[in-house]
Amino acid sequence: MEAPTPGSVILAGILLKLGSYAILRFLVGFSFSLYNDLLFFIFCLLWLGFTYGAIIAFNQIDMKKIIAYASVSHMNFSLLGLFSQNIYGIMGAFLMMLAHGLTSSALFLGIGILYDRFKTRLLFYYGGLVVLMPIVCIFYFFIILANFAFPLTLNFVAEILILIGLFQKTKICVIFLLFGMILTVIYSMFLYNKIFFGPIVSFFIRYFCDVSRLEFYVLSIILFFLLFFGIIPFKLISLFLLNLFRLI
């Protein structure tokens, strides 16, 4: 949270996936019986991490804190797919790691853009930016949709596969996960609504400008991959299956 924007992007987009990659690389190739006795305990911890992260994110007033806790919360959801012990959950976890890296990076970039203009991350200083920064508003709208797995995004494909894998393993876990997923929708839309809609806080927002050319290109590339692989996920799925067979 205290890192500069490039550091936050690297941490959320790359370094946060190292634990999931280690599980995928070293545990999936072994027999599931190695950790089968601890599976209930693992599911409980991951469900608590997902739900509690969403609750904490909902109670923050710092925009970067909201994204940081949301990022950790979604990684717990990804790990649930890895421990589902079937191909659907593992495939969904693989796609979730890619989708989460793109989405979290874009969210941190968006917060970095706002901080660069207004030098604050506190929510109550913002409001009505749809009038002043319409291009940022459009980009952030699609990224927020991806954050709570709206259909036609890569996050939606990943979460659906994880839920299918968990449903085959334990139906009760899927029911409990719905609470955290609803919270994800609530805090995502609350964040977007508070920043871009409502009255303009003219006392604080005096000097503003929309996206620069570099920011536009970077956000466009991220958004393209999120939507392209959300509409046509078969390329990534075939790549995953090929590498999984090599791994096993």
Tell me how far CA of residue 118 lies from CA of 22, 23, 98, 208, in angstroms.
39, 41, 31, 8
Strand partners, 62: 122
pLDDT tens, residue order, the chain (248 aa):
777 888 888 888 888 888 888 877 777 656 556 667 778 888 889 889 999 988 998 888 888 899 989 888 888 888 888 888 788 888 888 888 889 889 998 999 988 888 888 888 888 888 888 888 889 899 999 999 998 889 889 899 999 989 998 888 888 888 888 888 888 898 889 889 988 887 877 666 666 678 888 889 999 999 999 998 888 888 777 777 666 655 55
Tokens of 112: 């970095």
Q: Are 109 and 9 in contact (CB under 8 A)?
A: yes
DSSP string, 101-155: HHHHHHHHHHHHHHHHHHS--BGGG---HHHH-HHHHHHHHHHHHHHTT-TTSHH
Strand partners, 53: none
